[in-house]
Amino acid sequence: MLNLKQYEAVNWNKPTSDLAKVFWDQQWKQMWQPEEIAVSKDIKQWKDFEHQDTYKKVFGGLTLLDTVQTNIGMNEIAKYNNDLQEKAVLTVFGSFEAIHAKSYSYIFTTLCNNDEIDAVFEWVKKNEFLQYKANRISEIYLAIKENDDESLWKAMFASVMLESFLFYSGFFYPLYLGGQGTLRNSAEVISLILRDESIHGVAIGFFAQNIFRKFSQEKQDELKVWGYELLLDLYQNEMKYTEDIYAETGLSPEVKAYVRFNANKALMNLGLDTMFPEEEVNPIVMNGIRNEGSTYDFFSQKGSTYALAKVQPITDETFNFDFLKK
Amino acid sequence: MKEYLKLNNDLLNSYSSTGILDLDKDKEATRKYFLENVNVKMRYYIDLEEKIKYLVAEGYYERDFLDMYPMEFIKKLFKIAYSYKFRFPSFMSASKFYESYAMKSRDGQEILEKYEDRITIISLYLAQGDQDLAERAVRSIMEAYQPATPTALNSGKKARGELVSCFKLTVDDTMNSIAENIGYCLELSRLGGGVGTLLTDLRPLGDPIKGILNRASGVMPVAKLLENSFSYSNQLGQRNGSGVVYLNIFHGDIEEFISSKKPNADEKIRLATLSTGVIIPSIFFELMKRDKDIILFSPYDIYREYGKRMSEISMTEMYYELLDNPNIRKLKRVNARKLYTEIKKTQFESGYPFEVFDDNVNENHALKGLGRVKMSNLCTEILQVQSTSEITDMDQPNEYGLDVSCNLGSIDIHRATKSENFEELITTGMQLLTNVSLMTNIKNVPSVAKANKLMHSVGLGVMNLHGHLVQSNILYGSPESIEFVDYFMEALNYYSLQASMQIAKDKGETFYRYEESEYANGRYFDSYITKEDKEPSATVKEALGNVPIITATMWQELKEQVAEHGVFNAYRLAVAPTGSISYIRSSTASLAPCTERVEIRDYADSRTIYPMPFLNNDNRHLYVEAYEVDPYKLIDLYVAAQKHVDQGISMTLYVTDRWTTEQLAKVYIYAWMKGIKTVYYVRQRLQTLEECVSCSI
Local structure of B410: helix, strand or coil: strand
Helices (H), B589-688: 631-642, 661-673
Locate the domains of chain B by residue range. Answer: 166-363
φ and ψ of A152, to 5 deg: -65, -45
Q: Find all residues with CB under 8 Å of B341, minimum gap 6, and list them.
A: A311, A313, A314, B661, B662, B665
- What is the CB neighbour count within 10 angstroms for residue A95? 12
The CA distances from residue A4 to A1, A81, A321, in Å, are 6, 21, 59
Tell me if residue B327 falls in helix, strand or coil.
coil
Taking a C-beta distance cutoff of 8 angstroms, is the pair B679, B653 a contact?
Answer: yes
Residues A255 and B324: their CA atoms lie apart, in Å, by 72
What ipTM is given for this predicted complex?
0.89
pLDDT tens across A202-235, in order?
A: 899 999 999 999 999 999 999 999 999 999 999 9
Q: Compute CA distances B146 → B286, B474, B559, whole Å.
A: 41, 24, 28
pLDDT of A303 > 70? The answer is: no
Q: List, for residues B490-511, the tens digit of each pLDDT value.
A: 999 999 999 999 999 999 999 9
**H or E segment to which residue B655 belongs:** strand B653-656
Reported as a single tens digit per residue, the pLDDT across A113-136 is 989 999 999 999 999 999 999 999
Task: Please return the burial class of B506, using the count of CB atoms within 10 Å of its CB with bins 0-12, 13-18 and 19+.
Answer: exposed
Residue B686 pLDDT class (50, 70, 90 cuts):
low
In this predicted structure, the answer to whether residue B26 has a pLDDT above a threshold of 90 is no
Question: For the whole prediction, is pTM greater than 0.90?
Answer: no
Question: Which residue of chain B is at minimal alpha-carbon distance from A314?
Answer: B662
In sequence order, the 6+-apart residues with CB closer than 8 A to the CB of B436 are B126, B147, B151, B163, B164, B407, B458
Q: Which residue of B has its CA nearest to A254?
A: B1
**B111 contact A CB<8A:** no
B256 close to B301: Cβ distance less than 8 angstroms: no
Question: Each residue of B232-287: pLDDT tens digit?
Answer: 876 544 455 589 999 999 999 999 999 898 766 666 678 878 899 999 999 999 99
The C-alpha atoms of residue B675 and residue B657 are separated, in whole angstroms, by 27
pLDDT averaged over chain B? 92
Q: Do the chains contact at B16 and A284, CB–CB below 8 Å?
A: no
Contacts across the A-B interface (CB distance below 8 Å): 167
Q: Is the peptide bond before B204 cis (omega within 30 degrees of 0)?
A: no
Domains along chain A?
20-290 (1.10.620.20)
Q: Quick one: pLDDT at residue B1?
A: 65
Q: Domain B166-363: which topology?
A: Anaerobic Ribonucleotide-triphosphate Reductase Large Chain (3.20.70)
Smallest CA-to-CA distance from B166 within B498, B553, B574 is with B574
Rg (CA), chain A: 21
Residue (of B368, B382, B428, B388) closest to B573 by Cα position: B382
**How many angstroms separate the first and last alpha carbons of chain B?**
41
Q: Which residues of B touch A287 (CB under 8 A)?
A: 9, 12-13, 600, 607, 609
Q: In 10 A of CB A128, how many CB atoms?
A: 10
Asked if the C-beta of B601 comes within 8 angstroms of chain A's C-beta atoms, the answer is yes
Write out residues 301-320 of A within 8 Å (CB-CB) of B.
301, 303, 305-316, 318-319
Does the annotation count A306 as an active-site position?
no
Predicted local confidence at residue B645, as pLDDT: 98
Residue, of B651 and A196, whose pLDDT is higher:
B651
Given a cut of 70, is residue B620 above it in pLDDT?
Answer: yes
Catalytic residue among B28, B143, B187, B381: B381
Residue A181 CB partners (closer than 8 Å, separation 6+): B605, B606, B607
pLDDT at B611 over 90: no
At A295, phi and psi to the nearest 5? -65, 130
How big is chain A, counted in residues?
326
For residue A209, give the nearest of A158, A150, A270, A283 by alpha carbon.
A270
pLDDT at B406 (0 to 100): 82
For residue B349, give the nearest of B464, B264, B443, B241 by alpha carbon.
Answer: B264
- B694 has pLDDT over 50: no
Contact predicate B279/B231, CB 8 Å: no
